[in-house]
Structure 1
Amino acid sequence: MPDPATYRPAPGSIPVQPGVYRFRDPHGRVIYVGKAKSLRSRLNSYFADIGGLAPRTRQMVSTAAAVEWTVVNTEVEALQLEYNWIKEFDPRFNIRYRDDKSYPVLAVTLNEEYPRLMVYRGPRRKGVRYFGPYSHAWAIRETLDLLTRVFPARTCSAGVFKRHTQIDRPCLLGYIDKCSAPCIGRVSAQEHRRIVLDFCDFLAGKTDRLVREMEQQMSAAAADLDFERAARLRDDISALRRALEKQAVVLGDGTDADVVAFADDALEAAVQVFHVRGGRVRGQRGWIIEKSGEPGESTPEYLVEQFVTQFYGDQAELTAAGAAGMDEATNPVPRQVLVPVLPGNSEELETWLCRLRGSRVSLRVPQRGDKRALAETVRRNAQDALAQHKLKRAGDFTARSAALQSIQETLGLEDAPLRIECVDISHVQGTDVVASLVVFEDGLPRKSDYRHYAIRDAAGDGRSDDVASIAEVTRRRFHRHLRDAQERVDDQQEDGPRASARPHRFAYPPNLFVVDGGAPQVNAAAAVLEELGITDVAVIGLAKRLEEVWVPSYDGTPPEPVIFSRNSDGLYLLQRVRDEAHRFAITYHRSKRSKRMTASALDSVRGLGQHRRKALVTHFGSLARLKQASVEEITAVPGIGATTARAVLEALGVADPETVSEAPAADIGNDQDSRASG
C-alpha cells in the first residue's frame, strides 16, 4: 500500500488560489475529486497528520499514489469542474448521490400527431413533456386510470395504434370511453391534441380553471335538459376532485420548490427531496450515501453543497435535449431550493443554479410558516429512511466486509480483494462458444465494467474447449490492461496528466481473477499471466461439483484444492461472482445462437439481406410459421416480391410453394394434427 509521504508535494509548490484536485491510485485511476478555496491549505491537511484523519479519508490517502490539481479563477468554475470530473471519473471515495432505482415519470409525447400518455424512464427528449418523478410506476398508472375518464387521451403504443387503425376497430379502452379512439377517427387530430393539452394543464396545476369550465358546462347541459351529459360531467368533476385530493396543497402560494432534508450518523446519511410544483407535491426521491468521515466533509453544509451540484447537474444533462420545450412544470431546477442549512459558498451555488435554469433561483433555509412545516415533514421522512436502511443493510455491509477478509485470509493474499473479476465459458457441445467477464468491487457487482467475448475458432472446426477458451479470454483481457496502461503512461509523458483524458476502465488489474473450473483452467489462466509478465494478480478457480477453490501449480506438483468452510462468507461471495458470470455468459450465448439459427436457414436466399430477413421473422414470429405461410402472405411483408417469397419457401424445405399458397387453412391445420398425433 503506498505511503502518502512518497507523493506529498514539495513545500511551497501548491498554489494558494482556488481550484480542483484529484487523487490517483498506483494504476492511474482517479479515486477522489475535491475543490478548495485555497489548494495549499486544503491539500496540506491531508498530509499534516495521517493518524488524525478519519478512517475513510486515511484509507483514501493510503490508497492514492499521486495528487494533481487545476487552478481556476472563481469558485463557480471550481463547482462546475468538480461536478464534471466526478461525473467523468466516478471516484470511489466521493460521496455519490445516486438513485438506487430509476424513477419513472409520466411522459406526454407532444411531438407526435396523436400524443400519447405513458410511463417513461430515461433521458429527456425534445418535444415530450414530463411530469413527476413518481416513486412507483403503479402510481402513474393509477393516475392515468383516474384521469383518462375525464381526459380520454391515447395511452397505447405505436404498434397497437397502427393495428387498430388497420382493422378499423377500437381497443377495450375505446369501448369503455377511457380513450377517444383517434385510431378509427372518432376524434380528429386537433380534438385529440386539445384533450391532451387539457390533461397537461391539469397536471401543471391549472386545475381551478378546468373545474370551473366543467361546472359551467354541467349547468348549461342541465338547463338544456340534457341530463345524461350533465351526469357525465358531474362524474368527471368528482374524478378530478379525487385526483386533487391525492395531491394536497402544501404551499398555498403556488410555489415551485424542491425541499431537501438530511438525516445522518457517523457513517451514512439519508437524503429526501420533495418536488413541489404549483404548491402541490409532484414527486419524491431518496438516497442513502456513505460519508467520508473527514470533519470538513461530513458536515450538513458539505452534504448540501455536494447534493446541489451533483443532483441538479445530472438533471440539467437529462433535460438538455428537451430544453426547447421546457416550461415551469418540467424545468428540473425550480425557482426555490429549500435546504436545512446554507453552505459557505451559497452565493456561488445560486449563481450556478441560475445558469442551469436560465432565470433567478433562490437557495435558502425556510424559517417559518408552511415551508418550515413541510421541511420538517421531509426531515422526518429522511429519518425514517435512514432507520429502515440500517435495519435492511446492516447485515449486508458486515457480510461483505467479512467475506473479503475471509477470502484474503484463506488464500493468503496481501490485501483484501476489493476488485474481483470472473470468467465463465458457455457453449453447446463446443459450438457457439462465448465467454463472459463480470466485475465485483467492494463485494458488489459493477455492471458498467461487464464484458462478453466471442471465442475465436483457432482449430477451424467450429469447436473449442474450455481450457483454450479460458486462456484466450485471459490473454485478451490482460492485453487490454497492458495497452490501456501504456496509453495512460504515454499521455502523461507527452502532455502531462490531462483532466479530459478518457478514463481507461481496464488500465488497472483486479486483485483476484476467478475462472469457472478446476486445476486445468486455473493453470491455463496463470500461464497466460506469467507469459504477459503480470505478477500482481491472484488467480483461482471455483469448481461447481464440490465448490472447491483451486490455485495454480507453478512447480509441477499436483495441485491441492483450498477448502472454504461451508458457511463461509468468502465462499458465498465467490459463488455469487461465479453465478453472475454464468448468468451473463448464458444470456449472451442464447442471443448469439438465436441470431445464428434465424439467419442460417435464410442466408442462402439471393437478394434477401439482413433487414428483410429480420422483417420476415418479425412479421411471422418464427421460422415455423414462415414455413407454413403462402407466397401471397409472404409478399405482404414490405420489400418482399413473389420470386423472393418462393425462394424463401424453397430454402425452408417447402417442396412446392404454389401448393402451399393454394392449400386451405383448415387442411393445413388437419395436416399438422395428423403429424402431431403420429
Structure 2
Amino acid sequence: MFNIQEELKKLPDKPGVYLMKDSNGEIIYVGKAVVLKNRVRQYFQSSANHTPKVKAMVSRIKEFEYIVTDTELEALILECNLIKKYRPKFNILLKDDKSYPYIKVTMNEEFPRILMTRKVEKDGAKYFGPYTSAFAVKNTIDLIKKLFPIKTCNRVFTKDGKKQRPCLNYHIHQCLGPCQGNINKEEYRALMNDICSFLGGKQEEIIKRLERDMLKAAENMEFEKAAALRDKIASLKHISQKQKVVSNVLSDQDVIAFSKDPTDSCIQVFFIRGGKLIGREHFIFEGIGDVSDKELMTSFVKQFYTSAAYVPSEIVLQEDIDEADIIERWLSSRRETKVHIKVPRRGEKLKLVEMVSQNALIALNQFKENIKNQDKLAKEGMAKLKEILELEEMPNRIEAYDISNTGSTEIVASMVVFEGGHPEKKEYRRFKIKSVESQNDYASMQEVIFRRFNHAKKEKEDKNSEAKFSKLPQLILVDGGLGHVNSVLSVLEEMNISIPVAGMVKDDRHRTRGLVTGNKEIDLSKDLDLLRFVTAIQDEAHRFALEYNRKLVQKRYKGSELDKIEGIGPKRKKALLKHFGSIKNIQKASVNDLEAVEGISPGLANKIFEYFNGGSRI
C-alpha cells in the first residue's frame, strides 16, 4: 500500500521529474522540479491557492514516483519526452504532433538533388522550411525543376567520367545532362546555389542576373534563349510578389502568440525565414481557458520544440515563460548554435506579435463557429434518427460496430461511441475475435455484442470495478445489412436486453446509402444532412477497426522467429503466415506441408522444419 505522507518524507533535495498516478496506476501528470522535495510537497499542502484543475488532479492522485537528474536541463528534457510518451490527461497537450515538410537540397553530393523530407539532419545538406503543406512543397519543387534544368534521378556518377544512357528529361531539355558530361561539377553547383538563393527568398539577385543574361542573348540574336529567360524571370517575379515580407530581421524566426476566452485557447505560430513568412500553423486547446498565460506558453514551447525538426535562431513570444534561460540552453543544444527567446515590449517585433495574436483570435473564432455548426448538425441528426427509426427516446449515446479481417487471420472488431452526436474517443473499444477461425461476419458480430454486454453485466455486479462498459446505448448501429442486424438482435434477446438495432448499408460503390431495420430499409439519399451524419459514424467505425487490424498484421509480420531462418525474407515470411495463420501452426507443419507454400523450395522447407523441430524430415 502506497502511503503518500510517508513517501513525501523520502523525497530528495535534487532536481528531477515526478509522475502522478491514479488508482489504476495510469500517469495523469508529469512535472519538472528544481528541488523535488519542495515541488511535490506543495501539491499535498493547503489547497487554498490551488486552481480548480490542480484540485481535481490532487483528488485523483493515489501514488507518485520520481526520477532524479543531475541538472535542471536534464530534468527539462526528460519531462518533455515523458509528456510526449504518456500524454497525461492533466498536462496541457498538443493534439497535433505534426512533423512538417522541408525542402532538402543535397549540397553534400557532387551533383545535388532537391527532395522533400520531414527530418532535418546534420549531413551537409541545406534545408528550407518548415512548410505547413506537403502539397505546397511538391508544387515548389515542381516549379524549381521547370525553372532550373537540374537532375532528378538518383544516379551516382563514376569518377572515370564514363557516360551513361540519358533519361527522357535530358531529351526534352529539362536536365542539363551531367551524366553526359555536358556540365562540370562547378557549373552545376553554381546552379544549385541559385536554387538555394531562390528558396531563401533572394529572388531579386537572381532576377537581376537573368535580366543581364537575357539582354546579352538578345544582343547576340539568340532570341529563343532570350525568350526562355524572359519567361523564367516572369515566373520568379510572380513568386517574389506572393511571398510576404513581415520582418526586417533576416535571421530565421518563429513568432508565437495566442488568444484566449473563458473556455478555450488558440496558439498561432508564424514561420519566418529570411524576413519572409513561409508558413503558419495554429493549435486549439479546449477546456483550458482558466490556465495562466505563462503556463500555457511554457507548456506549448516545450512540447512544440520537442518534436520540431528545426529550431530557428530566434523565438519571439507574446508572453514570458518559466525558466526561459534553461529552455534557451536546451534549444541551443538542439540547434547546436545559440537560440534567443525574446518577449518584445515595443518596436517592430511587438507589432509582429500583435499580428500573430490577431490571427490566433480569428482561428479561435472560426473554431467556435465550427463547433456551433457541428452541434446543430449533431442534434438534428439524433432527432431525425429518433423519428425515422421510431425510437422511444433520443439516441444520445450511439454505439457503432464493424468487423475487419485479413482473409481468415487477424479478425477484429471496433466499437465506436457517439455521445450527443459527437465521437467520444475515450469510450471506444476494440476486440480481437476469439471464437471464429474463418471469415464469418455474423458470428464475429455476435461474439463482440455478447462480450460487450457481458462486461457491462459483470461491472454492474462488481461495484468495485472500474466501469468501462457500464454505459448502455440508446441505439446500436452495425456496418452491414439485415443479416448483421438479426445476428445482433438474437444475442440481445438471449441476454434479455432491449436496445434498437439498425444496419448501415452501402451501395455498389461502397458508399453509405441507407439504414435497415428488422422490417424495412430507409433510403437516406433525400436527406443529405442525415446521410452525412450516418456516414460519419460508419466511416469512424470502419477506420477504427481497420487501424487495429493493420496494427496486428504488422506486429505478426515483424520480428517473428522466421526472421532467424536463413533464406526467409519478407515475401516468404508473409506467404508462410498467410498460409498457416500463425507461427504455432508453422511449427506443427510437416516438410510436405511447408513445400506446398508458394516460394518455399524443398531445401528451404527442410531448413524450416529443422529449425523448429531440431532434426531433419526423417
Q: TM-score by structure 2 length?
A: 0.64
Number of paired residues?
A: 504
Alignment of 1:282-361 (within 5 A): 282-290=278-286, 292=288, 298-315=291-308, 318=309, 332-361=310-339
Look up the equivalent residue of 2:499 and give its one-letter code.
Answer: V
Q: Which residue of the other structure, out of 75, 80, 97, is the alignment partner of 1:78? A: 75
The answer as to whether partners of 1:250 and 1:370 remain within 8 angstroms in 2 is no
SS of 1:435's partner is strand
Match of 1:235 among 231, 234, 248: 231
| Cα distance in 1, alignment partners of residues 543 and 304 from structure 2 | 31
Aligned to 1:302, the other structure's residue is in SS state: helix
Alignment counterpart, residue 95 of structure 1, candidates 84, 92, 95: 92
Contact kept, 8 Å, 1:519 with 1:559, in 2: the verdict is no
Deviation, 1:575, is 6.0
Give the counterpart letter for 1:579 in structure 2.
H
In structure 1, what is the Cα distance between the partners aligned to 2:39 and 2:49?
15
Instruction: Please list, as runs of the form range in 1=range in 2, the aligned pairs for 1:183-582 lying within 5 A after superposition.
Output: 187=183, 191-290=187-286, 292=288, 298-315=291-308, 318=309, 332-393=310-371, 424=403, 426=405, 432-436=408-412, 443=423, 463=438, 538=469, 545=482, 558-563=495-500, 578-582=541-545
| Counterpart contact for 1:549–1:563, Cα < 8 Å | no
Aligned residues of 2:210 and 2:233 also touching (Cα < 8 A): yes
Give the structure 2 partner of residue 322 of structure 1.
Answer: none
SS at match of 2:209: helix
Amino acid at match of 1:303: L
The answer to whether the 8 A contact 2:410-2:553 is kept is no
What are the superposed Cα offsets for residues 584-634 of structure 1, whole Å, 9 maximum, x if unpaired? 477789999xx9xxxxxxxxxxx99768989xxxxxxxxxxxxxxxxxxxx
SS at the partner of 1:239? helix
Encode CA deviations 1:560-590: one digit per residue, 9 max, x unaligned: 34348999xx999986664334444777899
Alpha carbons of structure 1 residues 94 and 47: separation in structure 2 relative to 1, 3 Å? same
**Where does the alignment leave 5 or more consecutive residues of structure 2 unmatched?**
156-162, 382-395, 503-514, 516-529, 558-565, 574-597, 600-618
Q: State the partner residue of 1:140.
A: 137
Once the two structures are superposed, residues 379-408 of structure 1 have per-residue CA deviations (whole angstroms, 9 ceiling, x without a partner) of 11111111111222356689999x9xxxxx
**Offset at 1:338?**
0.7
CA distance in 1, matches of 2:314, 2:467: 52
User: Whole-Å Cα distance in 1 between the matches of residues 51 and 488 of structure 2?
Assistant: 38
Query: Is 1:28 matched with 2:25?
Result: yes
CA distance in 2, matches of 1:250, 1:63: 47
Residues 1:612 and 1:8: Cα distance change in structure 2 (over 3 Å): closer
CA distance in 1, matches of 2:553, 2:206: 53
Map of 1:629 onto structure 2: none
SS at 2:198 equivalent: helix
1:314 is aligned with what amino acid?
Answer: S
SS in 1 for 2:262: coil
608 and 268 in structure 1: CA distance in 2 versus 1, 3 angstrom threshold: same
| Alpha-carbon separation, structure 2, partners of 1:356 and 1:591 | 33
Distance 1:425 1:217, change over 3 A: closer
* SS of residue matched to 1:313: helix
Q: Is the 8 A contact 2:402 2:542 kept in 1?
A: no
Query: Percent identical across equivalent pairs?
Result: 30
Separation (CA, whole Å) in 2 of partners of 1:547 and 1:263 = 48
CA pair 174-268 structure 1, distance change in 2 beyond 3 A: farther
**AA partner of residue 542 (structure 2):** D
Q: 1:253 to 1:398 in 2, by over 3 A?
A: same
CA distance in 2, matches of 1:76, 1:37: 10
Deviation string for 1:7-49 (max 9, x for gaps)? 4666655556544221113332222111244545544454446
Tell me the secondary structure at the aligned position of residue 93 of structure 2.
coil
Aligned residues of 1:549 and 1:562 also touching (Cα < 8 A)? no
Task: Compute the displacement of 1:91 (Å).
Answer: 1.8
Q: Structure 1 residues 142, 535: closer, same or farther in 2, change over 3 A?
A: closer
- In the alignment, what sits opposite 1:67? 64
CA distance in 2, matches of 1:435, 1:534: 28
C-alpha contact (below 8 Å) 1:542/1:549 kept by paired residues:
no
What is the identity, as a one-letter code, of the residue corresponding to 1:237?
Answer: I
Trace 1:101-120 onto structure 2 (pairs within 5 A): 103-110=100-107, 114-120=111-117
Q: Match of 1:148, SS?
A: helix
Q: Which amino acid aligns with 2:149?
A: P
Root mean square deviation, CA, Å: 5.4
Deviation of the 1:300 alpha carbon? 1.8
Give the 3 Å change call, closer, same or farther, for CA 250–424 of structure 1 in structure 2.
same
Cα 1:156–1:517 change in 2 (3 A) is: farther
**Partner Cα separation in structure 1 for residue 440 and residue 84 of structure 2:** 41
For 1:26, the aligned partner's letter is S
